[in-house]
Amino acid sequence: MSQRWTVGEVAELTRVSVRTLHHYDAIGLLVPSERSEAGYRLYTPADLTRLQRILTFRELGFALADILKLLQADESAQRRALELQAARLRAELQATQRRLRAVTSLLQEEMPMTQEDIKQIFEQFDPREHEAEVKERWGDTEAYRQSAERMKRYTPADRERMNSEGAELHARYVALMDAGVPAESPQAAAVAEAHRAYFHEWFYDCTPEMLRLVSQSWVHDPRFTANIDQIRPGLAAYQYAAVQAWAEAQS
């Protein structure tokens, strides 16, 4: 008979606590395949393989309930979930790298800077320019007033959550792109609807027509296009096409 392990032995081998293993058993995530004559739980090599997959999914940020669904699904569903998670992590990495560059710039402010240093720091970010442009284009609109008022109220934690949800949206688009899903598909439409809800929650009352107009800047303004395409080349055009198709279907 192949080797079998008790819960204590598995805990010692894997450094997963007995309490955690009992919890996995209770929720049906990792149920020992066998029992000893005395009724003790016994884990098989296949159980340990399953545990390894569980721990991998946990390391990637999946919730236990989602891991259970993934392990019950076929390989293609698991692959799609991993692709989506990979896209989300890439988007988060891009955001982290931008924050790191910002922090590095702040640290360097204490050091003497040349004219060229200053130019490089502000080359892609001039808040005065963008503020003037936003006011010129949207300053007389209710959307601008709503957005300005909401942004005043947000705490650092609010802004962190807002950025995280934005990264998640980009990741969902990227996953569809990587899977070859057309921008006019129902899957892309679902992400476009989530995009509208995101704007509606964080910035202003956003109708499908409003999002359709906003999305035009993603492909018609090179600065927006370059910023979005840092995540994945072609992402700006894909998001634009998805929103346009979804908004058209709402009219």
CATH label of the domain that carries residue 210: 1.10.490.50
Q: Is the pLDDT of residue 58 over 60?
A: yes
Where residue 109 falls among pLDDT bands split at 50, 70, 90? low
Most confident segment among 27-31, 225-229, 246-250: 27-31
pLDDT number for residue 244: 92
Global pTM exceeds 0.75? no
Neighbours of 172 (CB within 10 A): 21
Check pLDDT > 70 for residue 7: yes
Provide the percentage of residues in the chain whose pLDDT is more than 70: 81
Packing angle of the helix pair 235-250, 208-220 (nearest 10 deg): 160
Nearest to 166 by CA among 101, 227, 107: 227
Domain end marker among 29, 44, 72: 72
Q: Please, is 177 exposed, middle or buried when counting C-beta atoms within 10 Å of its C-beta (0-12, 13-18, 19+)? A: buried
pLDDT tens for each residue of 60-101:
778 898 899 889 888 888 888 778 777 777 777 777 777 667
Residue 49: domain span: 7-72
Cα–Cα distance, 81 to 137 (Å, whole number):
40
Is residue 58 located within the same domain as residue 84?
no
Specify if 235 maps to a domain.
yes
Q: Which of 221, 199, 227 is nearest to 98 (CA)?
A: 227
Indicate the residue among 72, 101, 125 that finishes a domain.
72
Give the pLDDT confidence of 22-48 residue by residue, as tens digits.
999 999 999 999 988 888 889 999 999
Residue 106, pLDDT score: 58
* Range ranked top by mean pLDDT from 25-39, 135-149, 222-236: 25-39
> In the prediction, which pLDDT does 48 show?
94
Instruction: Indicate the average pLDDT of the chain.
Output: 80
Lowest model confidence (mean pLDDT) among 111-120, 189-198, 208-217: 111-120
Q: Do residue 177 and residue 227 come from a single domain? A: yes
The count of domains in the chain is 2
Domain match, 178 and 207 both: yes
